Amino acid sequence: MDCPIHSSQQISMSVRLREETSQILEDFLQHHLDGGHQPSPSPAAQTLRRVAGEMLDKNRSFFDSCSQISGNPKDVLQTVAATLIEDGGLNWGRIVSLIMFAGVLVKRSKDQRTATPKELAEVLSQFLAEEQRDWLQSNGGWNGFHKYFSNKGTLPGQDNNAISGALVAVAGFGLAGLAFLLAVR
């Protein structure tokens, strides 16, 4: 039998994780869309901006080609997220590649008026904080994300090509799934 206090704490932790996930993702997508100069709401959000920027810089032609994907952005994002799981599970690199892909979709959506940063952040939040909550929690949540990339030696403003290369290699499996979707369309 579950203790009511224990269950209440679990629900509270899940709600906080969902809210934090939504805030970080919406911040990134809005920042990516308008290049805004708003301060990051948290160290994890700042880390996401930096790491995703490194990924984009190293793979710009690939991400530019992703803008050719047709379909409803929310549906496409859900499909790509499911593909990442089928293709070997999650890691931080795959998560960054998925979020960067959502950034591509949000830019395309702005032109076509098909999805807002908030709507795509909601799709990703559902996937990460609900469907993949156990993985996210077991890897330290967004604090774990921040620590993971901070422990790799990169700090805002530092150029570290070795880390960028490793991130791209780790994310490569997820990007292969995106490439497959491009080829199918």
CB atoms within 10 A of CB 132: 18
What is the count of structural domains for the chain? 1
Among residues 9, 14, 29, the alpha carbon closest in space to that of 124 is found at 29
Quote the domain boundaries for residue 152. Answer: 4-184
Name the least confident of 41-45, 52-56, 66-70, 178-182.
178-182
Contact, 48 vs 124, CB < 8 A?
no
Contact, 24 vs 48, CB < 8 A?
yes
Distance from the Cα of residue 91 to its chain's centroid? 11
* pLDDT reported for residue 30: 93
The model's pLDDT over 1-11, given as tens digits with 9 standing for 90+, comes to 555 545 566 66
Name the least confident of 25-29, 55-59, 66-70, 181-185.
181-185
CA atoms of 113 and 106, how far apart (whole Å)? 9
pLDDT > 70 fraction of the chain, expressed in percent and rounded: 74
Amino acid at 183: A
CATH number, domain of 146, equals 1.10.437.10
| pTM for the predicted model, two decimal places | 0.77
Could you give the count of Cα atoms lying within 13 Å of 60 in the half-sphere of its Cβ?
4
Name the least confident of 73-87, 104-118, 154-168.
154-168
CA atoms of 61 and 35, how far apart (whole Å)? 19
**150 has a pLDDT exceeding 50:** yes
